[in-house]
């Protein structure tokens, strides 16, 4: 079947989609967007987290046909070059090694919150969702709750929590 959807602000069409296929497979294998990672395929790990109509979801649990006519934003869309959420991106990141990164991605780099990197795209999208609408730096309990469905097997999470606090503090103008 054919699926029409908007990805990172651009209308896209996927053809020859199998009816039992996931949105994750469509994004990675048909639309050339490998940012969302394929790991557990059962919603346990969060590494495929994307926005579906502004709500973070596991792309592996969305049937491809359920994305018909809807708006998807992947981790690629969070970067300044990727379109999608351009309007809310932090400025001043147009030069240097981190150019094109949005503020959450930048904070992950600066805090050293990335080791193997496999979980990072999902964590970045989920952290981005937490900070969208957050007032100041969220309490640790809120950060832990928000990230409870994103597994990382490298970092021990401490630097990921640091990164979220750093991004929040920069948004609040206190870092």
Partner 1 sequence: MDFLRPLTWVDALTLKAERPEATPIQGGTDVMVEINLDKGRPAALLDLTPIAELREWSREGGEIRVGAGVTYSRLIAELGAELPGLAQASRTVGSPQIRNRGTVAGNLGAASPAGDSHPPLLACGAVVEAESVRGTRLIPIGEFYTGVKRNALAPDELIRAVRVPAAAGPQYFSKIGTRNAMVIAVCSFAVALDPSVRRVGTGIGSAAPTPRHAPRAEDFAAGALDWDGRGPLDPGAARRFGELVAASAAPIDDVRGRAAYRTHALAVMARRALGWAWDDFRAGDRRGSA
Interacting residue with partner 1 among 6, 34, 39, 65 (CB under 8 A): 65
Residue 141 and residue 131: Cα distance in Å, rounded? 14
Indicate whether 63 belongs to the interface with partner 1 (CB under 8 A).
yes
Which of 11, 15, 32, 42 binds partner 1 (CB under 8 A)? It is 42
Residue 71 interacts with partner 1 (CB under 8 A): yes or no: no
Instruction: Please report whether residue 91 would count as binding partner 1 according to CB under 8 A.
Output: no
What are the percentages of helix, strand and coil residues in the chain, rounded to 5?
40, 15, 50
List the one residue from 27, 33, 37, 56 that touches partner 1 (CB under 8 A). 56
Judged by beta carbon, residue 153 or residue 175, the one nearer partner 1 is 153
Q: For residue 31, state whether it binds partner 1 (rule: CB under 8 A).
A: no
Of 52, 1, 2, the residue nearest 24 (C-alpha)? 52
Q: What residues have CB less than 8 Å from 43, skipping those under 6 apart?
A: 58, 60, 61, 149
**Is there binding between residue 75 and partner 1 (CB under 8 A)?**
no
| Binds partner 1 by CB under 8 A, chosen from 31, 36, 37, 46 | 46
Residues 30, 34, 66, 100: which binds partner 1 (CB under 8 A)? 66
Among the listed residues 156, 163, 154, the one whose alpha carbon sits nearest the alpha carbon of residue 113: 163
Task: Measure the CA dihedral 73/78/83/86, to 10°.
Answer: 120
The span from the CA of 136 to the CA of 170, in Å, is 9
Q: Is 29 in the site for partner 1 (CB under 8 A)?
A: no
Binding residues for partner 1 (CB under 8 A):
1, 18-20, 22, 41-44, 46, 49, 55-58, 60-63, 65-66, 68, 126, 129, 145-146, 148-150
């Amino acid at each position: 079947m054919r699926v029409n959807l908007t990805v990172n602000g651009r209308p896209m069409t996927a053809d020859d989609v199998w009816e039992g296929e996931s949105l994750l497979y469509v994004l990675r294998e048909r639309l050339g967007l490998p940012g969302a990672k394929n790991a557990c395929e059962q919603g346990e790990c969060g590494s495929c987290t994307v926005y579906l109509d502004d709500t973070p979801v596991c792309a592996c649990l969305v049937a491809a046909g359920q994305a018909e006519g809807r708006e998807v934003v992947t981790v690629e869309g969070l970067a300044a070059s990727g379109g999608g959420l351009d309007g809310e991106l932090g400025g001043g990141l147009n030069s240097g090694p981190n150019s094109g990164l949005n503020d959450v991605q930048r904070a992950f780099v600066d805090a050293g919150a990335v080791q193997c990197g496999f979980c990072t795209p999902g964590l970045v999208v989920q952290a981005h969702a937490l900070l969208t609408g957050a007032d100041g730096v969220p309490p640790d309990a809120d950060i832990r709750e928000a990230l409870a469905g994103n597994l990382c097997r490298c970092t021990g999470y401490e630097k990921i929590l640091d990164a979220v606090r750093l991004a929040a503090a920069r948004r609040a103008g206190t870092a």
